[in-house]
Amino acid sequence: MHRRIRRPSIWLSGVASIVAGALLVLPGTEGHAESKAGDDVEAVAAAAGATTPFVTVEAETGTLGGGARLRSIKPGATVPTSATLETEASGHALVELKTTGDAVTVRNSSGKQANTLVVRASIPDAAAGGGIDASLNLYVNGTFRQAITLSSKQAWNYRNATTNPDDPNAGGVPYRFYNEFPVRVTGSPIAAGSTLMLRKDTANTAAVYDIDSVDLEDVGAARTQPANSLSVVTYGADPNFTKDSTAAIQNAVDAARSQGRSVWIPAGRYLTNSLSGTTLNLTGVTVEGAGMWYTTIYRKPPLPASWRSQILVGSGTTLRDIQIDSNATWRDVGGPGGADYGINASGAGGWLVERIWTRHTDANWLSGTNGVVRNSRTADSYGDGFNINNGNTPNPDKLGLNITVQNNFARGTGDDSFATYSDAGAGGTNGQVSGAKILNNTAIAPWWANGLRIAGGRQVEMRNNLVNGVSSNSALDIGVYGNTGHPLESATVSGNVLIGGGGWNGVRHGVRISSPSSTSLFPDTYTNVTMSDNVMRGALRAGLYIDRTRVRATLTGNTIDGPAKQGIWIASGVTGTGTFTGNTVQNLLPGQVAVQNDSPGTFPIGG
């Protein structure tokens, strides 16, 4: 049975409605919940986000022991000017374990047993960089169960460091604090309703453990080999992680393509550290693993090294039931940090990716025509989680037409968690991305950029997604791709729940709508967007911000709940039109206004 993550709720009070630009205080709502508004908002919240096979329990909802303390940021607090453990935590809250005996206890609320966990946590970097390893003890129902190994070797990058992003002594500012740690539970599964305690004991030697969340999942048996498939092991691939399997996997794929068969990658961990410069190309073949908890392709080039490790997905490819991981340490596609795309999909003939789990990769880069990614996960990435695009090229295999990203989970991404980019290129020759659909996905705690982003395109749909906790930028950014981006001709944004936004990277807000700059290839075009029935909750600055010029925005039935600053802020100099009908702003802090229009003569609001 699939579950949604447990998400925070901000109860409703002090409700106001924005109709045709006017602020109306609804009678009888001061100081208590307005029931119908509350019911409507929570119904939208319940429908948003991915349905996952695991349940996430936030550490801050647990019981603290010893001297453990809760650290958090709430709307109205001063927004940091650089990344912090709080800004990068889901829901901007974490539990700190610093001294022996400090603990946090949570309950298995999944409704079923759990035989795996994913612990999202941070421990300190080494003084010279490169990270450390340290254990943390797990107790079930008060009894010691096992030690969990945590690491900071793929965390703690330093922005603007003068040597490399992994060097803490080169003048950079730290970010990327957290990592996820999959754990197979030893002994019997953790029964529903049982307690799990993470405790810093004498043997746990990190100076501090910052715990963000725990996923609980009951993983079933490994999948079995499909009929009419070729096993990569038959072609020499090693599931025991002792020798390079790159050539063996590719040989199996090539043979399957010529024979009209599929490829089977049995349970195991497959090392890929070939320095040949040839990446795995799965075009035209169905490739299946035993499940994302069972079959892993692990990229391990010697670092530093310039090395392409992306997996190519082309026309007619199906890829499913596999994990892709790497030893990458910073963002630099094909560069010395070891990072590269998780998958790079293209092709005019369509492709399907489902039930994959990418970790410590760059973006999952999605172009072509009629492609689908669904029911997948990404974590701890160095780039976007899932990015629909036109390949930044006029190549007919990379048009970016009718690509769907649905029911996926992204946490701790190093750029936008879910995005669509339409780059026209310096000469304006790249085709316009059209028909992109980003549906029912969950974006948790990206450490850089936005939860969701629309950057140009035609007939874009972004529906029923959940964002919770954005460190640097906005929960949702709507506009164009730099100075070479195609205009946003049409976009529908509906039913999304957008929690937080307004992070440390300059003056950001919960949701931002902008337009081409004056130096763009398309200076006279407008950003055109319709937003309906979205919930924008708990922004660290304004709930919705509109800036630059040439914006046509239609807002209907949206709720802006508890922003730190204005509910809606239209900056000075904006041109275009706003059609606002039946929107609600509630839980304003003292002294804040529902709507601040600093461009009343050039951006009139009508209903």
260 by Cβ neighbours in 10 Å (0-12 / 13-18 / 19+) ranks as exposed
Residue 5 scores a pLDDT above 80: no
Average of pLDDT values for 601-605? Answer: 97
Q: Which of 150, 151, 140 is nearest to 216 (CA)?
A: 140
Do the Cβ atoms of 471 and 447 come closer than 8 Å?
A: yes
Residue 26 scores a pLDDT above 60: no
pLDDT confidence of 39, banded at 50, 70, 90? low
For residue 145, what are the contacts with CB-CB under 8 A and spacing of at least 6? Answer: 138, 139, 185, 186, 187
CATH number of 384-606: 2.160.20
Give the span between the Cα atoms of 285 and 587, in whole angstroms. 53
Q: Which of 284, 351, 349, 291 is nearest to 320 (CA)?
A: 291
Residue 451 scores a pLDDT above 90: yes
Give me the sign of the Cα torsion angle 121, 127, 133, 136: negative
Residue 391 scores a pLDDT above 70: yes
pLDDT at 6: 40
Average of pLDDT values for 173-184? Answer: 98
pLDDT at 575: 95
Q: Which of 442, 363, 596 is nearest to 55 (CA)?
A: 442
Give the span between the Cα atoms of 276 and 271, in whole angstroms. 14
pLDDT at 334: 85
Give the span between the Cα atoms of 441 and 408, in whole angstroms. 5
Name the more confident of 371 and 308: 371
Average of pLDDT values for 455-474? Answer: 98
Give the span between the Cα atoms of 354 and 548, in whole angstroms. 39
Name the more confident of 508 and 47: 508
Instruction: Report strand pairing: 116-122 vs 209-217.
Output: antiparallel
pLDDT confidence of 40, banded at 50, 70, 90? low
pLDDT at 523: 82
Residue with tokens 């929960």: 475
Residue 466 scores a pLDDT above 90: yes
Is the bond preceding 124 in cis, omega lying within 30 degrees of 0?
no
pLDDT at 15: 40
Do the Cβ atoms of 104 and 64 come closer than 8 Å?
A: yes
**Average pLDDT in the chain:** 92
pLDDT at 306: 75
Tokens of 517: 């700059």
Average of pLDDT values for 358-384? Answer: 98
Do the Cβ atoms of 354 and 374 come closer than 8 Å?
A: yes
% residues pLDDT > 70 (the chain): 92
What pLDDT, in 10s, does the model give residues 404-441?
A: 999 999 999 999 999 999 999 999 999 999 999 999 99
Residue 487 scores a pLDDT above 70: yes
Instruction: Report strand pairing: 93-97 vs 69-72.
Output: antiparallel
Q: Which of 440, 452, 439, 436 is nearest to 403 (CA)?
A: 436
Q: Which of 346, 337, 343 is nearest to 359 (CA)?
A: 343
Residue 12 scores a pLDDT above 70: no
Residue 32 scores a pLDDT above 50: no
Average of pLDDT values for 544-560? Answer: 97
pLDDT confidence of 42, banded at 50, 70, 90? low
Q: Which of 109, 61, 65 is nearest to 89 (CA)?
A: 61
Residue 84 scores a pLDDT above 60: yes
pLDDT confidence of 529, banded at 50, 70, 90? very high
Give the span between the Cα atoms of 201 and 99, in whole angstroms. 8
Instruction: Report strand pairing: 93-97 vs 157-159.
Output: unpaired
Give backbone dihedrals phi and psi of 98, rounded to 5 degrees, phi first: -120, -30
Helix (H) or strand (E) run with residue 47 in it: helix 35-47
**CATH superfamily of this structure's domain 55-217:** Galactose-binding domain-like (2.60.120.260)
Give the span between the Cα atoms of 9 and 42, in whole angstroms. 8
The structure's pTM equals: 0.94
Cβ-based neighbour number of residue 39 at 10 Å: 12
pLDDT at 38: 56
**Domain range list for the chain:** 55-217, 384-606
pLDDT at 335: 87
408 by Cβ neighbours in 10 Å (0-12 / 13-18 / 19+) ranks as buried
What is 203-234 written as a DSSP string? T--SS-EEEEEEEEE---PPP-PPTTEEEGGG
Residue 483 scores a pLDDT above 70: yes
Residue 27 scores a pLDDT above 80: no
* DSSP, res 114: B
Average the pLDDT over each of 89-93, 193-197, 517-521 and give the range with the smallest value: 517-521
Tokens of 295: 């079959």
What pLDDT, in 10s, does the model give residues 273-282?
A: 877 667 999 9
